[in-house]
Each structure stands twice: as C-alpha cells, then as structure tokens.
C-alpha cells in the first residue's frame, strides 16, 4: 500500500493495483478494509487452492458478506433482548407507581 500526496492510496489485490481515495479522516478505515479483504482472500485460497482471479475474489467477498449478515442477525437479537428487558423494567416501575 502506497500513499500519494493527493490522498490517494494504491492498494494491491491479487496482483492488481487499485488507486483509491478515501474521504478525509477515513484513510485508516480504507487500510483496515484492504487488510480484511486480503485476509479473506488468503483464507479462501487456503481452503480452495485451485481458485484464481475473479472466482477467488467472488468467493471471498461472498464469505465476507455472509459473515456480515450473521453479525447483523446477532446484533438484532441482542437489541431485541435489551428491548424486552427495558419493557419488563418499565412494566415493573409502572405497577409500582400504580400501587403507591
């Protein structure tokens, strides 16, 4: 990864260079995303050593998307659980106030 004076970062993925300009303050997020993609590519390549090029890239991207969807489901389940706890607490408080 090379940084240019104009804020453009050159990232090499599967032997191809991509010039990407991150929004101000998001340069580290760009580098982190590139590292995550490279790790996913390496992991996919280990599991499927015969895959190359676009097929490797697509399978790695699909795996990342699948992981993202799973995290979103887990996050929603946690939010639902917290909402239930808050509702139960509000109910108890409401009953306590009514009895006072």
**CA 45, 50, 52, 56 torsion-angle sign:** negative
The answer to the question of residue 79 being in a domain is yes
The answer to the question of residue 13 being in a domain is yes
Confidence of residue 95 (pLDDT cuts 50, 70, 90): confident
Rounded mean pLDDT, 23-31: 88
The answer to the question of residue 2 being in a domain is no
pTM: 0.70
The answer to the question of residue 1 being in a domain is no
3-state secondary structure at position 97: helix
Rounded mean pLDDT, 41-52: 95
The answer to the question of residue 32 being in a domain is yes
Q: What is the mean pLDDT of the chain?
A: 90
Residue whose C-alpha is closest to residue 90's, from 100, 48, 35, 98? 98
Supply the range of the domain harboring residue 68.
Answer: 8-99
Confidence of residue 93 (pLDDT cuts 50, 70, 90): very high
Helix (H) or strand (E) run with residue 20 in it = strand 16-21
* Domain tally, the chain: 1
The answer to the question of residue 62 being in a domain is yes
Contact 44, 26 (CB under 8 A): no
């Amino acid at each position: 990864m090379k940084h240019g004076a104009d804020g453009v970062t050159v990232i090499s993925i599967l032997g191809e260079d991509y010039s990407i300009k991150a929004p101000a303050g998001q340069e580290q997020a760009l580098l982190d995303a590139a590292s995550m993609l490279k790790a996913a590519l390496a992991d996919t390549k280990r599991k499927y050593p015969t895959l190359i090029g676009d097929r490797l890239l697509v399978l790695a991207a699909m795996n990342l998307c699948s992981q993202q969807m799973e995290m979103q489901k887990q996050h929603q389940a946690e939010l639902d659980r917290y909402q239930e706890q808050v509702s139960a607490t509000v109910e108890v408080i409401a009953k306590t106030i009514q009895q006072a």
